[in-house]
Amino acid sequence: MTQSSRKAFFQTMLVNLTAAPWHAAYLVPTGVAILLIFNALFGADGSAGALLLVFFGVLLSIRLGAVALRRMLPVSREVHNGWFQNRLLAKHYDSYHWQKLFWVGLGMALHARSSGHLSRVQAWVVVTCVVSGLIGMIYWKSAETKRDASAAKSGCA
């Protein structure tokens, strides 16, 4: 593999990590991290408010980290355009973001399974994430199909 092909592969992966199904590669570990941080700070039986604080804090940290990385990484115009297109989808379709909750919930469920502990509060957040994420996936697939059909139709006109 040449250096230019390695660079092209790396840059393609950078774009793909922000879209389904590849975003699961960072969202599942995010779910694991949420419960690890929660358990370390508040104990496994911490309050619902504490869990929500950690949950939203981690998600906000990822969002801010992504903004910083987009500005710092020396990537091609194509990568920036790919990221921009993914951000546009997220702005136009709420379900694009909601589907990500499935993977976060799955990561939290995997951590709970491996640790052998799942409090009632944690179970509530895991189920809420997985169910709302599945609903988001269904809506996103529907919206994506309509969007692709509309694009194909306008491209043929």
Report yes or no on 114 lying in a domain. Answer: yes
**Cβ contact 16:79 at 8 Å:** no
Report yes or no on 68 lying in a domain. Answer: yes
Residue corresponding to tokens 């609903």 = 135
pLDDT band at 147 (very low <50, low <70, confident <90, very high): confident
How many other CB atoms are found less than 10 A from the CB of residue 98?
19
pTM of the model: 0.82
How many domains, the chain?
1
Q: What is the mean pLDDT of residues 21-44?
A: 92
Amino acid identity of 50?
A
Residue 42's domain comprises 11-156
Report yes or no on 121 lying in a domain. Answer: yes
C-alpha neighbours within 13 Å on the C-beta side of residue 50: 16
Using CA atoms, how far apart are residues 139 and 135, in angstroms rounded to an integer?
Answer: 6
How many other CB atoms are found less than 10 A from the CB of residue 4?
8
Report yes or no on 138 lying in a domain. Answer: yes
Report yes or no on 92 lying in a domain. Answer: yes
Taking only the tens place, the pLDDT of each residue in 88-125 is: 887 877 787 888 899 999 999 999 999 998 899 999 99
- The pair of structure tokens assigned to 60 is 């906000």
pLDDT at 157 over 60: no
- The pair of structure tokens assigned to 112 is 């709970």
pLDDT at 8 over 90: no
Report yes or no on 102 lying in a domain. Answer: yes
Q: Is the dihedral of CA 12, 140, 56, 130 positive or negative?
A: negative
Q: What is the overall mean pLDDT for the chain?
A: 86
Taking only the tens place, the pLDDT of each residue in 71-87 is: 888 878 888 888 888 78
Share of the chain above pLDDT 90, in %: 43
Report yes or no on 6 lying in a domain. Answer: no
Under 8 Å CB-to-CB from 29, ≥6 apart: which residues?
A: 107
pLDDT band at 23 (very low <50, low <70, confident <90, very high): confident
pLDDT band at 69 (very low <50, low <70, confident <90, very high): confident
Using CA atoms, how far apart are residues 103 and 23, in angstroms rounded to an integer?
Answer: 8
Q: Quick check: helix, strand or coil at residue 75?
A: coil
Report yes or no on 151 lying in a domain. Answer: yes
Using CA atoms, how far apart are residues 130 and 1, in angstroms rounded to an integer?
Answer: 39
